[in-house]
Chains A and B, each alone.
Chain A
Amino acid sequence: MKNSRLKYKLIAYSMVLSIILPLLLIIIWSFANRWQWPSLVPTDYGLRGWSYIFGARAKTFEIICISMCISFIASIITVGITIPAAKAMAHYNFKFKKQIEMLIFLPAIVPTVVVAMGIHIHFLRMNLGGSFSGLVLINILPCIPYSYWILKNVFEIIGDKMNYQARVLGASSTQTFVYITLPMIFPGIITALSMSFIVSFGQYFINVLIGAGKITTFTMLMFPYIESGDRTMGSVYGTVFLFASLIGLVIVEKLTSSMYRGKLKEYKYV
């Protein structure tokens, strides 16, 4: 028994370490001014990369803000449109239910590359190409399956009984939604928002295509350095990206939980 536990421990720790260590490595690399072959640790630590990307001429900060705005708005819209869909799917039966659910899951499986190339020409015609709203719109698509999946699970768990009770006691459907449904699905909303934010914030290809060179998002800033194999700069951008996503997640949680203070005690993160 003891022996097998040791085996599980060995497997679990070694795999988790090999997942986490590469990430620590980019944080170290971002602080390396020089790290030449064949030394195992940086030969010269410093802030060269950091001062470059946050220097006066680089618009990094501005671009992070724009990217975050796009992702926030896309996430909010995604969650807004998937709440009713998830509720309908979890609580009601109707025709073509399975086919509709399959359609909702499609963006996770049919590559966004394909969709973006197809829709590109229509976006250009509608003046959405290279516009903020165009980017938000295309960013909603890959978020839908994740948000839907999370929310549908929540609706299935809480069931429909509480809503009936409120309705029987004379609440209107709006009141039922605001005072009963919303507080109950709240943890799910935060998870869905966070997940959508992460999915959208990491998009590269669709942003290049629909952004049409007029709007730059953070991943587009990062791409050339990773492409050319510039480790220090790539790692600085990578580290900034990770921190920005974490900040984004904290903002999502703070903003939403400030609306429903004290109701989130047993809530766990994604």
Chain B
Amino acid sequence: MLLPVLIILIGILGVGVMTTFTQSIGYFSAIGSNDFTLDNYMRLLTDKGLIESLVFSMRTSFISAFISTLGGVILAVAVYKLGNEGDLLSKSFRIPIIVPHLLSVLLIYNIFSQTGILARILFSLGVIDSFESFPQILYLKNGFGIILAYVWKELPFIAFITYNVLSKLSTKLSDAARNLGANSFQAMRYVVIPLLIPSILSSFILVFAFSFGAYEIPMLLGATYPKALPVKAYIEYINPILSNRPYAMAINFFIASMGLFLAYIYFKCFERVTRYEKQ
């Protein structure tokens, strides 16, 4: 029964990652290279731009995943507390799930660029006197625009997951806490939130891993330097000099290993998610 899905997974994912690895250690017959080498990994370790790319990717993904998770949980809890009234709201924050990352770039650009809506509103209020005096928010070295785009896209996703888990949780435990004299904040803080932690953590890792490996948003909203890790890998990959490709593959394999590591942690969290659901 598992065979079809395993064929696809091993045939595409497995072979893809394996090829990345074999090319990165020098077995790349298209350029006649068939000797084992660790040069690409040595280059990886000594490339200063690469370390900055790694730090940049880590930082933007971590900050955006952190803000998305925090905001998403707050939104989910607020909507959950509203009861029936929150029902419509919970449907509307699912909308960004159908919007691709590519489009979220446009949304952020429309609002936060120097001639975007925010700048126009500030201008008409007299806060700024020309679009040049509106601070540059996008394409910065600190990756602020990238973070905004990811937060817009991922916050609703986290809210959606958390809201689902919340509405599946039995109210017995928090009722018991209330009965024993806890106020509603305490019941939330000491009973409900701890029960939510595994699913919050696993969705945090999912979002973090995704933005760490995704290419579109940092490509379109990032600075020319430092580049996000996947963007750097892609640029090395499309380099017309084929002998550069094993190096791109070394970067790719590094990204994939990070993914594997995160997958392991994700899985450890995921095991606990279903533990407290209503029977």
Contacts and interface: CB of A to CB of B under 8 A. Distances in A.
A117 B15 CA distance: 11
Contacts of A116: 16
Contact of A106 (B13, B86, B156): B13
B267 A87 contact: no
* Interface of chain A, main secondary structure: helix
Interface string B209-220: 110111110001
Which of B4, B77, B210: most chain A Cβ within 10 A? B4
A114 B259 contact: yes
A235 B115 contact: no
Contacts of A87: 1
A81 interface: yes
Size bin of chain B's contact surface: 35 or more
A84 B6 CA distance: 11
A106 B263 contact: yes
A85 B259 contact: no
B46 interface: no
Contacts of A226: 102-103, 105-106, 109, 220
Contacts of A75: none
Interface stretch (A45-53, A58-66, A118-126): A118-126
Q: Assign chain A's interface to a size class.
A: 35 or more
Contacts of B213: 109-114
A211 interface: no
A109 B97 contact: no
A26 interface: yes
Interface stretch (A4-12, A160-168, A182-190, A259-267): A4-12
Contact of A19 (B23, B93, B101, B267): B93
Interface string B107-128: 1111101010101110110000
A38 B220 CA distance: 24
Interface in B196-230: 205-206, 209-210, 212-216, 220, 230
Contacts of A112: 213
Interface stretch (B37-45, B47-55, B170-178, B248-256): B248-256
Interface in A24-65: 25-26, 29, 37-40
Contacts of A242: 98-99, 103
Interface in B1-47: 1-2, 4-6, 8-9, 12-13, 15-20, 23, 30
5 contacts: A16-B89, A81-B5, A85-B4, A114-B253, A219-B100
